[in-house]
Amino acid sequence: MVYQALYRAWRPQTFREVVGQDHIVRTLENMLNQGRIYHAFLFCGPRGTGKTTLAKILAKALNCQSGTRPTATPCLDCASCISIKEGSNLDVLEIDGASNRGIDEIRDLRESIKFAPNQGRFKVYIIDEVHMLTMEAFNALLKTLEEPPQHVVFIFATTEVQKLPATILSRVQRFDFRRLSHSVITDRLRQVANASTIEIEEAALSLIAQAANGGLRDALAMLDQTYSYAGAHLITPADVQEVVGLVPYAEYASLWRFLVTGNMRLALERLREILDGGKETQQ
């Protein structure tokens, strides 16, 4: 059997499973419960904080067949929920903005929008990395956003919201994703490790969370790598340092000491040692 990466295996499937973005989850749930469906959502924020995960949950919520209208609690069992999870639903299109950034792709998209959904209530277009679109493509998209068909919902995702034209921003419902806190990430890592019978020291979990810099996807990927490296042994902070390339605090402390005492020669030597070790210095 092909091994499924932890971040995929543990990807939240419902709003309740999403961690660290409570303000967004709550707003989306209320919106669905009140039957207020916007035509364009913008999910912006740092990488690995749950933007495309929430986009797919929202798509399920809009098209779940368990009831007669959109729901904040998609059933996960109907044909629609299952095919959206698998990425094979004909009404939910995931588009990578980086590789479909031109005017022709957006024209094609505008053509396809005219047709009614196959089975769902809505055609949902998830455009990831939307900031990569060309200005021409944005202008074409804008025409659709100005007069969207009733059956279409756009969910745009981006890590660089400042690159979007103001004309687009003024026509979307914007949601700002936050970096996840250290404790939210360690809690989630601990939960995944326990359920996957991965033995890991608490200090090692903490180091991974620190290196992940607020992104849960990166944190789970690091746990995966460290687990592969350590094998069946208990994972220690040293394992994490070896795999993730974190500079131990003691090395930083000595670098700092050389700097504040004006010993530039030793400071540079220490810095070179750290960099030669290929360690991640952006902490």
| Residue 11 · residue 48 · CB < 8 Å | no
Smallest CA-to-CA distance from 220 within 16, 22, 26, 12 is with 12
C-alpha–C-alpha distance, residues 180 and 219, integer Å: 11
Closer residue to Zn ion in complex, CB, 80/241: 80
DSSP codes, 233-253: SPB-HHHHHHHH-BPPHHHHH
Q: Among 18, 28, 81, 106, indicate the residue that binds Zn ion (CB under 5 A).
A: 81
Residue 268 in tokens: 């540079």
Q: Is the CB of 121 or the CB of 131 nearer to Zn ion?
A: 121
Q: Name the nearest CA neighbour of 205 among 228, 251, 236, 232.
A: 236
Q: Does 64 bind Zn ion (CB under 5 A)?
A: yes
79 or 275: CB nearest Zn ion: 79
Q: How far is the CB of 12 from Zn ion (least distance, A)?
A: 15
- Position of tokens 């973005």? 21
Q: Does 75 bind Zn ion (CB under 5 A)?
A: yes
81 versus 95: smaller Cβ distance to Zn ion: 81
Among 19, 37, 78, 113, binds Zn ion (CB under 5 A): 78
Gap between the Cα atoms of 123 and 95, Å rounded: 13
Q: Which is nearer to Zn ion, 121 or 188 (CB)?
A: 121
Span from 57-65, 109-117, 158-166, 189-197 in contact with Zn ion (CB under 5 A): 57-65
Question: Closer to Zn ion at the Cβ: 64 or 133?
Answer: 64
Q: Alpha-carbon distance 157 to 164, whole Å?
A: 11
Q: Does 57 bind Zn ion (CB under 5 A)?
A: no
Shortest Å distance, C-beta 181 to Zn ion: 32
Q: Does 32 bind Zn ion (CB under 5 A)?
A: no
DSSP letter for each residue of 126-195: EEETGGGS-HHHHHHHHHHHHS--TTEEEEEEES-GGGS-HHHHTTSEEEEPPPPPHHHHHHHHHHHHHH
Q: Which one among 27, 30, 33, 66 touches Zn ion, defined by CB under 5 A?
A: 66
Contacts of residue 191, Cβ cutoff 8 Å, sequence gap at least 6: none
CB 28 → Zn ion: shortest distance, Å? 16
By the rule CB under 5 A, 82 interacts with Zn ion: no
CB of 81 to Zn ion, least distance (A): 3
Site residues (CB under 5 A) for Zn ion? 64, 66, 74-75, 78, 81
